[in-house]
């Protein structure tokens, strides 16, 4: 079975616009304005390249790749488009993410010379190794099931989920993560599963599912760490924003603690929390609420912009 999968337009948009798959034209246009205003100010190509690199550095994993592709699609400036695609191509190849690699190569379409063409032999080689890795994981899982070793089964399902996620097979990754629930032995396992399920659900644009897993994680008996709390509030804000629940989104973003920092770069940057939270608050909260919450938000994140 070929492990390569195409990244759907909806999933890519969900990851790149940072809105949990809201899919709203207005939200995507707003993100494009933010990106292009920061990158296409008419300066030298080197300055634009530095701006692009600085922006991409805010994110990690598939989210960084998806945002680079999004910039290439929306910026309308060929120099920036090609710079974004070059970065996406190089990183996808380094990560052996054949789906994003193929998409970047096809969008480049030979415009960057022979060093950034689609190398089908490399794709086939990576997919072959990945298939072998999958078979090894499945064999390992069956052994643990035979031995009824619950913790090892849980870990193996997690490894399978990570494998599927790294190759863009999001539905299969989600199913693998969910199967770990049968083998929980500590509340931290619940939080771990919820965070992985949330990551998948954000990329797929399943906002209700995101909120369900946020609630499940927040309901754990053991206290959550400040970083975990901040992550859950930030991603709940994304889901609310995707559902057009702007007042609730504002409240979630405004309550997101500075502990978030760069700890959730696979989903959202702290700058996004400040931007989305401020805009939603100004548009949908009353004056008294803004007076209480907005200065604190700006105080927490202003240092990240300057």
| Cβ neighbours for 78, distance < 8 A, ≥ 6 positions apart | none
**Is residue 214's pLDDT more than 60?**
yes
Round to whole Å and give the CA distance between 252 and 293.
Answer: 11
Residue 35 pLDDT level (bands cut at 50, 70, 90):
very low
Beta carbons of 201 and 209 less than 8 angstroms apart? yes
Which pTM does this prediction carry? 0.80
Handedness of CA 266, 267, 269, 270 (dihedral sign): negative
Least confident of 12-16, 210-214, 220-224, 280-284: 12-16
| Separation between Cα atoms, residue 197 and residue 30, nearest integer Å | 27
127 or 5: whose pLDDT is higher?
A: 127
CATH number at 186-305: 1.25.40
Average pLDDT, the chain: 84
Joined together, the tokens standing for residue 276 give 């989305």
Q: Closest Cα to residue 159, out of 148, 12, 144?
A: 144
Cα torsion through 69, 51, 26, 72, rounded to 10: -20
Phi then psi for residue 59, to 5 deg, are -125, 165
Of the pLDDT bands very low, low, confident and very high (cuts 50, 70, 90), residue 17 is: very low
Enumerate the H helices of the chain as residue ranges. Answer: 9-17, 25-39, 45-56, 61-74, 78-95, 98-108, 120-147, 150-166, 170-179, 187-204, 207-218, 226-242, 246-254, 270-284, 287-301
Between 295 and 201, the more confident residue is: 201
What pLDDT, on the 0 to 100 scale, is given for residue 28?
45
Give mean pLDDT, residues 243-247.
Answer: 94
> Which pLDDT does position 50 carry in this prediction?
83
* pLDDT tens-digit readout, 91-112: 999 999 999 999 999 999 999 9
Please tell me the total number of residues recorded for the chain in this structure. 306
Nearest in space to 200 (alpha carbons), one of 15, 9, 33, 8: 15
Residue 49: the pLDDT is 79
The full set of domain ranges for the chain reads 50-118, 126-183, 186-305
* % pLDDT > 90, the chain: 65
CA torsion 231-234-236-237 (nearest 10°) is: 180
> Which residues are CB-neighbours of 123 under 8 A, at least 6 positions away?
4, 98, 101, 102
Q: Which residues contact 148 (CB under 8 A, 6 or more apart)?
A: none
DSSP 8-state secondary structure symbol assigned to residue 19? S
- Rounded Cα–Cα distance for residues 205 and 117 (Å): 31
Angle between helices 61-74 and 9-17 (to 10 degrees): 100
């Amino acid at each position: 079975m070929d492990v390569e999968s195409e990244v759907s337009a909806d999933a890519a948009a969900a990851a790149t616009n940072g809105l949990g798959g809201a899919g709203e034209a207005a939200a995507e246009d707003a993100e494009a304005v933010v990106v292009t205003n920061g990158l296409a100010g008419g300066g030298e190509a080197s300055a634009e390249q530095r701006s692009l690199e600085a922006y991409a550095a805010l994110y990690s994993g598939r989210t960084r790749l998806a945002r680079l592709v999004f910039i290439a699609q929306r910026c309308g400036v060929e120099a920036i488009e090609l710079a974004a695609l070059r970065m996406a191509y190089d990183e996808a190849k380094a990560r052996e993410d054949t789906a994003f690699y193929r998409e970047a190569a096809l969008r480049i379409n030979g415009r960057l010379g022979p060093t950034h063409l689609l190398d089908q032999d490399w794709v086939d080689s990576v997919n072959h190794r990945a298939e072998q890795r999958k078979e090894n994981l499945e064999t390992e899982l069956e052994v643990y099931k035979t031995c009824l070793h619950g913790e090892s089964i849980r870990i193996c399902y997690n490894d399978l989920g990570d494998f599927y996620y790294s190759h863009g097979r999001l539905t299969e990754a989600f199913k693998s993560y969910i199967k770990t629930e049968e083998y929980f032995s500590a509340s931290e396992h619940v939080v771990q599963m919820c965070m992985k399920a949330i990551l998948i659900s954000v990329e797929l644009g399943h906002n209700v599912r995101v909120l369900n897993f946020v609630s499940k994680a927040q309901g754990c008996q053991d206290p959550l760490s400040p970083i975990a709390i901040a992550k859950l509030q930030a991603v709940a804000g994304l889901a609310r924003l995707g559902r057009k629940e702007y007042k609730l989104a504002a409240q979630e973003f405004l309550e997101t603690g500075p502990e978030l920092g760069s700890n959730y770069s696979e989903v959202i940057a702290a700058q996004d929390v400040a931007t989305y939270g401020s805009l939603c608050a100004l548009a949908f909260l009353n004056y008294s609420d803004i007076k209480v919450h907005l200065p604190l938000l700006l105080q927490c994140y202003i240092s990240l912009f300057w």
